[in-house]
């Protein structure tokens, strides 16, 4: 009788749907990726952080769009960030949970940057993997982690860039996320920066000249990024801004 009752309770409780804010999800639970390439990149970023130490004035945190500063964006990076001993902490394919894990496992150890430029979340938006609310929660967890670990660092929280050539449900999903995460900004320690409109044509389409695959940036796309944040970044760092 007792076992039957226990089974019944289990079935009843198991059928209860938790409210969204109580549901467990992957976006805010720190986790590494199993692939060897990711592990190698993670090790490299830890080495970069250790080498830069307190000389780094700015760090960039994100996914492949951030990592792309080392390829299509390398000339723009050299102009705007090399003299600031900037550190690129981007890994292609990363989601919010992977960034959280990296921040807890060496990526920012020994660093004392004046500014951290953060953009993450587009990979979480693929399919039905995470809801907009879950992705916003993952980004909020990253901001909280940065504030706790690097309390003297100002965060430039970037709106997730638009993606896909035309209007899509995924692009709308990103817009909803941006509406929420902008509330993380307090204009004291966290600053909201949204220049996604600069990547769009008047009809709302994404030009291939800026995003050849309608996700990753061309050199011109990186120029738009650098120019869009330069005034605010130079004020935070306290140096003379780079002229476009």
Catalytic residues: 64, 213, 216
* Contact in structure between 131 and 92 (CB atoms under 8 Å): no
Report, in this order, helix, strand and coil percent for the chain, each rounded to 5: 50, 10, 40
Question: Rounded to the nearest 5 degrees, what angle is found at the Cα of 119, between the Cα atoms of 168 and 183?
Answer: 85
> Alpha-carbon distance 1 to 10, whole Å?
14
> Alpha-carbon distance 185 to 101, whole Å?
23
Token pair, residue 12, equals 């009843």
Backbone angles phi and psi of 161, in degrees to 5:
-65, 150
Token pair, residue 191, equals 């600053």
| Nearest in space to 107 (alpha carbons), one of 60, 140, 57, 144 | 60
């Amino acid at each position: 009788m007792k076992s039957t009752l226990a089974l019944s309770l289990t079935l009843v409780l198991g059928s209860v749907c938790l409210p969204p804010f109580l549901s467990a999800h992957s976006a805010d639970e720190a986790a590494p990726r199993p692939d060897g390439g990711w592990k190698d990149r993670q090790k490299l970023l830890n080495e970069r952080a250790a080498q830069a130490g307190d000389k780094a004035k700015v760090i960039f945190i994100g996914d492949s769009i951030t990592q792309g500063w080392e390829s299509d964006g390398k000339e723009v990076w050299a102009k705007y960030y090399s003299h600031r001993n900037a550190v690129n902490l981007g890994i292609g394919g990363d989601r919010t949970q992977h960034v959280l894990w990296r921040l807890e496992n060496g990526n920012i150890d020994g660093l004392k940057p004046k500014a951290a430029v953060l953009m993450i979340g587009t990979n979480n938006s693929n399919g039905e993997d995470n809801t907009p609310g879950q992705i916003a929660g993952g980004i909020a967890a990253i901001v909280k982690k940065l504030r706790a670990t690097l309390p003297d660092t100002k965060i430039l929280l970037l709106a997730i860039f638009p993606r896909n050539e035309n209007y899509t449900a995924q692009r709308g999903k990103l817009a909803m996320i941006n509406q929420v995460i902008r509330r993380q900004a307090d204009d004291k320690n966290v600053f909201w920066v949204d220049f996604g409109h600069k990547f769009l044509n008047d009809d709302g389409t994404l030009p291939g000249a800026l995003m050849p695959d309608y996700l990753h940036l061309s050199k011109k796309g990186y120029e738009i990024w650098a120019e869009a944040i330069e005034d605010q970044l130079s004020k935070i760092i306290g140096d003379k801004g780079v002229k476009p």
